[in-house]
Structure 1
Amino acid sequence: MHAIHTTDIQSWSTSEVPVSQRFDYFADVLSSALVPMGVEIETPSRTAFHAEMTLAELGPMAISRQIGSAHRSYRRATELSRSGDHSFHLIINLMSGWTLTHCGEIRLAPGDAVLADSNFGHELHMPGRYECMHLKLSGDWLRRWVSEPSVLVGRRIPATSSWGRALTAFASQLSPQFLVDSPLPQSLLADQVGALLALVASEFGGAPKKASRGDAALRERIHACVLERCMEPGLCAVQVAEALGIPDEHLHRALSAGDESFGELLTGTRTGIALRMLGSSIFRRLSIEEIARRTGFNDATHLERTLRARTGRSPWQLRGH
């Protein structure tokens, strides 16, 4: 895609390049404008692929609006090693549902948002045509507003939550063209995003407090329950909280106090068991599909995506084949 520069806006469109170059161009644009990442095609032919993106700077953040065709993007060991300064990425879904594996797996409906951390790998699956807002945030700037961003990283920010609704409604209006035309100072707009993120963090349980003995004891119970039930497909925080006889907000608060999220704990537990099974001769006769089933993953493909995102290696490589 050829970049078209105005004073403040950069725009890209695959329609500006030959059909045969569109997909590769899109992959290069994402890596150069956001963070290094790989992309896999979802459409039957690369020639059917289309994408557009506009981007503008807003002080400590870069804001882009993207539309395009189905694809997968990922950040594995190779992409992580090429990353520059630490950054966070607030992604707001404006159109069809899609999934993100990043410190756990979540599905975002239209209007939902998620905060991603450039220090961790991800697997993003856009199964159909999509539209989203992407706010790339400086790590130092975000910590001025949210002292422990891990409270939010990898967790779905639902459009139905009180401050989540306010955050996504405001941030989704910050198109690059709006930033250029806005009558308000850009610093004020950036501060509004920071304040709303702080309020969402507070709604999710607040910045982690110094862990108490009660928090530590509850975390141990949560860990034990997740270890016992992690092979159940679709296991969620509400089910674990019900099994422990506590409100789910208490579960999230206890995990946040230990710098954890439920999604990260569940995926980490499942991944740890899968790694031990892949490395053990006892389970050598089990297929990768069966190992995926026994550890709670949807299928072998889901297990492979998670292992590649976390280790940079496939199940077959980890098994030594």
Structure 2
Amino acid sequence: MSHAVAPAAIQTWSTEAVPQHQRLDYWIGAICEGFLEMDVTSTEARTFGATLESVPLGPLGVNRVRGTAQDVYRTRRAIAHSRSNYYYLLCKTDSPWVVVQDDRSARMLPGDVVLVDSRRCYAFHLLQSADTISLELPTAWVDAWLPDAGDLVAHRLDGRTGWGGVLAGFAQQLSPEVAARPPLPPALLTDQLGGLLSLAFGQSAAMPAAPDRGGRAALRQRVLDATRERHAEPGLTAAGVARELGISERSLHRCLADGATTFATALTGFRMQVAQRMLADARFDRLSVAEIGFRVGLSDASHFVRQCRRHLGHTPGELRRLR
């Protein structure tokens, strides 16, 4: 016999509930209430907006975040004030982002999956948007499926291939709406998720750490994508990008050399592309040359002028006059 089960209520927090100047503060309170204590900053505070939808699924929690680009931090102070802790399995499908936990970081591509532990400090750098499915997993539940879960945090699972792809597809289907009206008993769905966790992370642990020569083309593209994404960071180094991708600095330089380029050349090229675009657009005339240089990662205005003359053939002022 089947038994009808009343749908669970989806709890929703939205910054639309408060005036614009209060929205970032409201959002910090919302995620502290709906998730855990965390800090949030955003370069788009003046136009900030976000929503959080949350619903339980058996012992788990299904959460969907939508909103403006932001940086989220789980600090030691927040950990000390938290009564409960969880693992979180996160999947973001629309744009790349960066996750950091302990001394490990990973650049996540759309559709990839990652696990984090709220008992340890972490940071999420949601560079274009915050749209993410976040599954809240009790620590004891995760430990039953992944005995070495603590060693797997901030480890990128490719969401397009193998069991990682299957796990990513399953996680994306676990929206708040599905969790509120589950198509199968919650116990079956949560067991399915646990089994996929074991398969996906087991496969990942068995993969070779170093790519072969053929695989360096794909690695090179990841390095270039990560460098492009972070070009605006002053002082960005090859070592920093290598740490983010979980590879050695030697592997980074080797894969770039296979493509007849270097890290410095690639980084400068990305910065100059953006600078040229900004200097050609009248909407950016309100910014000084030094401000444009800072926005592309060059905090020294004179160095920025020299780089433009060398790589673009003109100074920033000349490029504005020539458009």
Task: Give the secondary-structure state (helix, strand or coil) at the position aligned to 2:187.
Answer: helix
Counterpart AA for 1:15: E
Task: Give the secondary-structure state (helix, strand or coil) at the position aligned to 2:95.
Answer: coil
Higher relative contact order (CA 8 A, sep 6+): 1
Counterpart AA for 1:111: G
Alpha-carbon contact 1:112-1:168 (below 8 Å) kept: yes
- Residues 1:192 and 2:192 aligned together: yes
Alpha-carbon contact 1:95-1:130 (below 8 Å) kept: no
Deviations 1:164-187 (A, max 9, x none): 100010111111111222331011
1:26 maps to: 27
Instruction: Say what the alpha-carbon RMSD is for the aligned residues.
Output: 2.5
The 1:299–1:116 alpha-carbon spacing in structure 2 relative to 1, beyond 3 Å, is farther
Aligned runs of 1:1-321 on 2, under 5 Å? 7-43=8-44, 46-103=45-102, 104-205=104-205, 232-235=239-242, 239=248
1:286 maps to: none
Deviation (angstroms), 1:21: 1.9
CA distance in 2, matches of 1:200, 1:31: 30
* Gapped regions of structure 1 (runs ≥ 5): 1-5, 207-229, 244-297, 301-321
Alpha-carbon contact 1:42-1:127 (below 8 Å) kept: no
Deviation (angstroms), 1:237: 5.2
* Gapped regions of structure 2 (runs ≥ 5): 1-6, 207-236, 253-296, 300-323
1:306 maps to: none
Deviation (angstroms), 1:105: 1.5
Task: Give the secondary-structure state (helix, strand or coil) at the position aligned to 2:84.
Answer: coil
Counterpart AA for 1:56: V
CA distance in 1, matches of 2:116, 2:125: 14
Deviation (angstroms), 1:16: 2.0
Deviations 1:126-180 (A, max 9, x none): 1222311000100011111111102421101111331110001011111111122
Counterpart AA for 2:70: H
Task: Give the secondary-structure state (helix, strand or coil) at the position aligned to 2:173.
Answer: coil
CA distance in 1, matches of 2:22, 2:248: 47
The 1:299–1:111 alpha-carbon spacing in structure 2 relative to 1, beyond 3 Å, is farther
CA distance in 2, matches of 1:153, 1:31: 21
Task: Give the secondary-structure state (helix, strand or coil) at the position aligned to 2:188.
Answer: helix
Sequence identity (%): 29
Aligned length: 216
CA distance in 2, matches of 1:16, 1:113: 31
The 1:48–1:94 alpha-carbon spacing in structure 2 relative to 1, beyond 3 Å, is same
Counterpart AA for 2:201: A
CA distance in 2, matches of 1:47, 1:14: 13
CA distance in 1, matches of 2:93, 2:72: 18
Deviations 1:26-46 (A, max 9, x none): 111111111110111220xx3
The 1:14–1:237 alpha-carbon spacing in structure 2 relative to 1, beyond 3 Å, is closer
2:306 maps to: none
User: Of the two, which has the highest radius of gyration?
Assistant: 2
Counterpart AA for 2:139: G
